[in-house]
Amino acid sequence: MLRRGVIAGLVVLAVGAGCSGDGDDDVRAGDDPGTAAAGEPADGPLHGTFTVLENAEHGPQLCSSVQESLPPQCGGLDVVGWSWDDVDDEESTGGTTWGSYEVVGTWDGERLTLTAPPAPPQSPGAPDTDFASPCPEPDGGWQVVDPATTNDDTLQAAQARA
């Protein structure tokens, strides 16, 4: 199940990269992600931000979802060329090491082979949004029209309707 999620994540990464016009192919998940033919190889590099986790049961793997226990748990696709010496901010406990990183590599249908050193995760940053009203402020400023309708219940109802 987790392997299918990671494969789906790679599909999204590959399709998004293909839309950028840089020649990357999309990766399609195979019918049975538990077999050796988990997908088809991609012609170009893939990149994305993933939790990478290694424990006594497996080497470094990309996680599609992480069970938030201590230590965390996940299973995913193997990452070839990974070294914890190349990254900062990893966490370790109970024989498990993990962290969130931007990874770039090639997809051979079964595993991701790094083609660049891992980097800190990319954050989307704050949106450049102007929350100013397009309406002129009324005389006396903005006032609550009906305090009885200005509460958490009405907010929840408005959000549910939206």
Reference 111, options 12, 1, 27; nearest CA is 27
Q: How many helices (H) and strands (E) does the chain have?
A: 2, 6
Is residue 55 within 8 Å of residue 72, measured between CB atoms? Answer: no
User: Does residue 81 come out as left (phi exceeding 0), alpha (psi in the -120 to 50 range) or beta?
Assistant: left
pLDDT at 33: 28
User: Does residue 9 come out as left (phi exceeding 0), alpha (psi in the -120 to 50 range) or beta?
Assistant: alpha
Amino acid (one-letter) located at 145: V
Average pLDDT, the chain: 75
Q: Cα(101)–Cα(56) distance, rounded to whole angstroms?
A: 21
- What are the boundaries of each domain within the chain? 2-114
Q: Per-residue confidence at 47, pLDDT binned at 50, 70, 90?
A: confident
Q: Cα(76)–Cα(112) distance, rounded to whole angstroms?
A: 11
pLDDT tens per residue, range 124-147 = 666 677 778 888 988 998 888 888
pTM beyond 0.75, yes or no: no
Judged against a pLDDT cut of 60, whether residue 19 lies above it is answered with: no
- Integer Rg of the chain from CA: 22
Between 49 and 15, whose confidence is greater? 49
The single-letter DSSP state of residue 5 is H
